A and B are shown apart, each in its own frame.
Chain A
Amino acid sequence: MYSNNIKKILLLTVFIALMTVGAKAQVKSYFGFFGGVSNALGDFKSTDYYNNKAGFGKRGLTYGLDGAYYFYKNLGIGASITYQDNGELNLTEANSLAAGYTSSFSADNAAVTGTKRYQTVNILLGPQYTFTKGKFLLDLRASAGILKLFSTPETYVNLYDGDNQIAAFYQKSASSTVLAYSGTAALRYKLSDNVFLTLRGAYLSSQGPSITYQGRTTNTGRLVTRQPFNTINTTIGLNFGL
């Protein structure tokens, strides 16, 4: 799955390179900022206790900086640095996890305390091709880079009379740096010669961080070893031509 996506990015890059043939004018390089919402996708969004990849990710705030340098007509290299928040466990989900652990461990009852949230920054770089039509510019970019996780949700699971697990245990918050890749489409509207209003959609995917436990004595029940990360961010921003 992961290697297939890498192949898609490479094919897209080749496609963009071919598209440069026949391009007429040099597009202006730019930088800018954006803000909007980050939406969790797929397993990252799932809230299924029995899905070990379920991330309980939410819709959250995202903002960042973005820019591109055009080195040949419509072809350039783009980069972005993006902060995004994908929420934390809510009460319904904590109750659901507690019910799952109660069942898995044949416990009489369980309490799940959720703290911390998904807070990440990604730094991505990749080739960009821009189509122009009047006052509109359409940027397509495939990029790769790093995803720095400042925190992920942490849970403290306390079981009462559970089988094979007497002590309470933690699913620890992760704060690591992992590889990520992204596909971005942005529609820019020229407000003036050097100012653009930009609507942007960015898909981000990563295998995500390894997840560790503290105090867990058995692999019974929900066991998350790696938390995949998939989001699509829809943002609005301003770009400034250089």
Chain B
Amino acid sequence: MSVAEVRLKAQPGLIAVPYRRVSAATLAANVVLVLLGCFFLIPMLWMLFASIDSNPDWAIKLPSPTLANFREVLARPETVIAFRSSLILAGTTTVVTTVLAMLAAYPLSRMHIPLKRPFMLGILFAAGLPVSMLIVPVYQLYVTLGWLDSLYTTALFLAATSLPFAIWLMKNFIDAVPIELEQAAAIDGASTPRIVRQVVLPLVVPGLAVTAIYTFINAWGAFVVPFVLMYSPEDQPGPIEIYNFMGSHGLFKFGDLAVFSLLFSIPVIVLYLVMSRYFSGAFNFGGAVRG
């Protein structure tokens, strides 16, 4: 109760009219929401419970809690390798994508390029193309180049597929920076690279962060591309490891699988929380979603 309310209550003669605190509609809405929340929570719960269960099964059950699963998974070298691979893959993709997107988005935003409009629309179009169309010829290409089975070359392709949307995101972020600042810098005699580096870049850092995090989250969970372009079992990134685990029925331990999945998912969840806390406008996709 705020100070004002306390003061008022002390005075005589206040007429308080009882309210139905909560209307039927609001109550129904909240109940439905809780039910829906359960629908979303329950499948996830398996992963949580099975990971700390000493005797897990497919179903959610009350765990006989243990950390043995965690110890086991963390001790295994494959776990570390998988994480390392994913980190390399996602990290390389993110760096390449973000840098190239920034470089490409600046001229698209600021300069008068012929055919800019169709180009931007083409970018949007490209962002929606199914990977399946690209994967076959790229596979062929990689075979010829001998680029198969390498995390770095795979990252290159992932970057290429992430680039259209990243460029679109960055362009919107750069659009939001007032051009007068750059014009002032130009009048002061700064060259274009310097302007970009010292004027635009600092202001666009949130946008860069959003793009980078978005790209990273996508690359971290990437499955198809590494699945096709990498074949040797040593360097497989996380998702492939999990898939392989799933395929070997009965030979694996549910608990370990749950632990590994949980551990693998945590970085992305953390990143998402970071992104939403500090960039609350991010999920307007930079203002892209109009409604």
Chains A and B bind each other: no
Chain A residues close to B by CB (< 8 Å): none
Interface residues of B (CB under 8 A from A): none
